[in-house]
Structure 1
Amino acid sequence: MKPKFAFFGAGNLGLAHAGHMAMHGYDVSLCNRTGSKLQPIVENNNKILLTGAVSGKVRIAFVTESYEEAIAGRDIIVICTAAPGHRYTVGKLLPFLESRHRIVLHPGYMLGAVEVHRLLSQHNLADIPVSELESSLLTCRSEGGNTTNIKAIKHRLGFATLPAHRNWECLSPFLALYGRYLHARDSIMETGMLNLNFIIHPPISLLNAAAIDNGQRFLQYHDGVTEHVANLAEAMDNERIAVCNALGIPTTSLHEWDKIHYPTHIGDSSTLASAFRTNAAYSAIYHPDTLYSRYIWEDIPYGVMPVISLGAALGAPTPAMEAVVGICKAMFRMDWDREARTLENLGLGGLNKRELLQFMITGNA
């Protein structure tokens, strides 16, 4: 019998993923913390309209604002919120969670599974496994109301679990539908280090800041990634790779990552800039009309700053990343130090390389 899924977050990804699984016969519920995003779905008899690479109208079994109702009788909890929503969502679910549940962060960003595992442990729920995808499985954008456009399904996307020995148990329910697209990674450190939004998003936003402030609409990747923007992204990416090498974990460059996950979509893969500018999956994806978007407010504290903290612990310099964070703090007059998923904020400060890797496998230092 197929497991039952509860999806949290009715944004681009949550709407698309819940709809795609329901289209293939899975019993899914959909929950969002605010009812306004759910109202167009409810008004359409709980139906979601999928367009693009996957198309059709599908009915969601249950749509609700109630966290308790959303997981009643459900087996797998899929959290499709932005990274700041991981802790919030699990916090709301704490009174209703049982040891039989499995939690999947789609995606996990950097150290998302660690943050959730820590919260669960504080409430005697450490036996609930926490999995994460390294990036969004579906490249998608909301078209408003109950409609979402799926532009592509990424290939060979990593999936890891804390603790690692439960990874197959947590991955297997997805394989009937996504076996071509998902594969197991050894640890959540690998998946976190391969969520590369934090490498490409901040350079685009920062180096196109005047255009964004002046209300100029432009395509996020096709217009926003020039060779100079890509140069900054590659400098940050080289630092990320150096941190991975210091940890002794496998990784790949942003350039190769894009080619791996979009094997049929890229017209010219000769450079990083050309790969982004000619990727058909990125067509009609516009940059948000404000700098106050997840491309800064998520990717800096939940992507860049965690890697900087890892680099500092391992003796791997990250000057380009530190420069980007410094510019963001000055531009936005904002300090993310208390919010960021750094090792110190997660209670992992002072651990050596062996202890860090052990924690990412077992959940215990």
Structure 2
Amino acid sequence: MTKIKKVAVLGAGNGGHAMAADLTLAGISVNLFEFPEFEQNIDPIKKRGGIEITGVARTGFAEIKSVTTNLEEAIDGVSHIMVVTQSLAHERLAKDLRSRLKENQVIVIFAGSGGGLVFVKILKDDIKDKNLAIVETITLPYACRIKGPALVNVSRLIRGILAGVFPAKWTHQILKPLLEIYPSMMPAKHILEVAFYNPNVLLHPVASLFNIGRIEYSKGEFYLYREGFTPSILKIMDAVDREKMAILERLGLKPLSLNEQFMLRYGESLDKFLEKMKVLGSKGPFSAKHRYITEDVQIGMVFMATMGRELGVKTPVLDSIINVCSVINDADYWKTGRTAESVGLK
């Protein structure tokens, strides 16, 4: 494939701000899309005519080519569609893209927790008829936060971005142009492998659930990374990690532990990362309705646990966390979450 010249960035949260600005300053034409009900996320960008980006990525003021709530306009003429929405929006977005996609486009889902499988299932006819490719990564390329209207800071560039491609036989040719803009991308065996490696699925739910009393009592004065990762919490995380690795082994893959993921991603151990985040971490979460539970449990944990069931791997710790989080939020995440069956793997 040729050099990437024009992309659509779908989602204008922290990651969307950073990606749109960084790629624009790299000389790539960017169309930034946000869902109409979240248009307030892009109003400041429209007003300023772009995004100011600071930190360790490319820095300066990036004049974004197009900022829109019109999906068809956003993906028109682009070679790559970068999906940086929350995982909860993947199914909707895939359905919205269906029938709008053009031949040979590449859809890249960042930190998907199985989002790539959702897109493959919904777009299966388009993939075949229009020669499309789907990529899923285990993380965003940036550690970033919106700091003000049309202002984003990138505190760290992420290393070791494992990426799976569908069809897997196209892995080399699909990743080659992406490596020019994100050289830390690494090929996975296939798109299913990366679905298990979003580190947030292990970090956020355990620490949030088992600190929920403190979170609710604090009334907004809680810092997860400063207070939440005690020795007992780390033991529970390790138990979930072992269940994840058992599933990967049953799939015939050589699993990476969470600590190995952090060595790959940051070049430092999980313990060192957590120590740094005591200083760098922001406030929150402030309730059980935070995406650390509503997204990471409902999407990431339910997917892992139901894959375990399909493969005959017991996941008692994952199951318990899902059950208790469902009770706390008056929900049934087993029914509403991303399951093996819902992505077509039953």
TM over 0.5: yes
C-alpha distance 19-147 of structure 1, shift in aligned 2 (>3 A): same
- Who is 2:214 aligned against? 211
The answer to which of 207-216 and 323-332 deviates more is: 207-216
In structure 1, which of residues 225, 233, 238 is the aligned counterpart of residue 237 of structure 2?
233
Q: CA deviation at 1:117?
A: 1.0
1:117-166, CA deviations, whole angstroms, 9 ceiling, x for partnerless residues?
11112567664211111112211112232111211111111011111012
Percent of residue pairs identical: 27
Q: CA deviation at 1:75?
A: 1.0
Aligned residue for 1:303, secondary structure, equals helix
In structure 1, which of residues 17, 20, 35 is the aligned counterpart of residue 19 of structure 2?
17
- Who is 1:3 aligned against? 5
Aligned residue for 2:40, secondary structure, equals coil
- The aligned amino acid for 2:213 is A
For residues 281 and 137 of structure 1, the distance between their equivalents in structure 2, rounded to whole angstroms, comes to 22
- Who is 1:177 aligned against? 181
Aligned residue for 1:183, secondary structure, equals strand
Of Structure 1 and Structure 2, the greater helix share is in 2
Q: Retained in 2: the 8 A contact 1:225–1:276?
A: no
- Who is 2:158 aligned against? 154
Matched, 1:197 2:194: no
In structure 2, which of residues 322, 338, 343 is the aligned counterpart of residue 341 of structure 1?
338
- The aligned amino acid for 1:20 is D
Matched, 1:286 2:289: no
Aligned residue for 2:5, secondary structure, equals coil
Q: Retained in 2: the 8 A contact 1:276–1:282?
A: no
C-alpha distance 212-234 of structure 1, shift in aligned 2 (>3 A): same
Q: CA deviation at 1:170?
A: 2.2
Q: Retained in 2: the 8 A contact 1:3–1:173?
A: no
- The aligned amino acid for 2:65 is A
Q: CA deviation at 1:3?
A: 2.8
For residues 67 and 133 of structure 2, the distance between their equivalents in structure 1, rounded to whole angstroms, comes to 25
Q: Retained in 2: the 8 A contact 1:107–1:132?
A: yes
- Who is 1:41 aligned against? 45
Aligned residue for 1:14, secondary structure, equals helix
Q: Retained in 1: the 8 A contact 2:226–2:278?
A: no
C-alpha distance 182-120 of structure 1, shift in aligned 2 (>3 A): same
- The aligned amino acid for 2:5 is P
C-alpha distance 131-124 of structure 1, shift in aligned 2 (>3 A): closer
Q: Retained in 2: the 8 A contact 1:194–1:251?
A: no
Within 5 Å, give how 1:70-109 maps onto structure 2: 70-109=74-113
Matched, 1:28 2:30: yes
C-alpha distance 291-311 of structure 1, shift in aligned 2 (>3 A): same
1:219-258, CA deviations, whole angstroms, 9 ceiling, x for partnerless residues?
3323321111111111100110111111111221112211
- Who is 1:118 aligned against? 121
- Who is 1:361 aligned against? none
1:12-64, CA deviations, whole angstroms, 9 ceiling, x for partnerless residues?
1111111111111111110000321110000001x111122233221111111
Q: CA deviation at 1:328?
A: 0.7
Runs of 4+ in 1 over 4 A off after TM superposition: 122-126
Aligned residue for 2:228, secondary structure, equals coil
C-alpha distance 293-230 of structure 1, shift in aligned 2 (>3 A): same
C-alpha distance 347-284 of structure 1, shift in aligned 2 (>3 A): closer
TM (normalized to structure 2)? Answer: 0.92
C-alpha distance 233-78 of structure 1, shift in aligned 2 (>3 A): same
Q: Retained in 1: the 8 A contact 2:117–2:192?
A: no
For residues 301 and 122 of structure 1, the distance between their equivalents in structure 2, rounded to whole angstroms, comes to 27
Q: Retained in 2: the 8 A contact 1:83–1:302?
A: yes
For residues 51 and 232 of structure 2, the distance between their equivalents in structure 1, rounded to whole angstroms, comes to 40
Q: Please report the RMSD computed on the Cα atoms of aligned residues, expressed in angstroms.
A: 1.9
The answer to which of 27-36 and 278-287 deviates more is: 278-287
1:266-322, CA deviations, whole angstroms, 9 ceiling, x for partnerless residues?
5xx4xx4x3342235971333232321211111112111111111112221111101
In structure 2, which of residues 302, 307, 310 is the aligned counterpart of residue 310 of structure 1?
307
- Give unpaired runs (5+ residues) of structure 1: 350-365
C-alpha distance 155-281 of structure 1, shift in aligned 2 (>3 A): farther
Q: Retained in 2: the 8 A contact 1:141–1:285?
A: no
The answer to which of 289-298 and 239-248 deviates more is: 289-298
Aligned residue for 2:179, secondary structure, equals helix
Within 5 Å, give how 1:317-356 maps onto structure 2: 317-349=314-346
Q: Retained in 2: the 8 A contact 1:155–1:262?
A: yes
TM (normalized to structure 1)? Answer: 0.88
C-alpha distance 292-233 of structure 1, shift in aligned 2 (>3 A): same
For residues 74 and 86 of structure 1, the distance between their equivalents in structure 2, rounded to whole angstroms, comes to 19
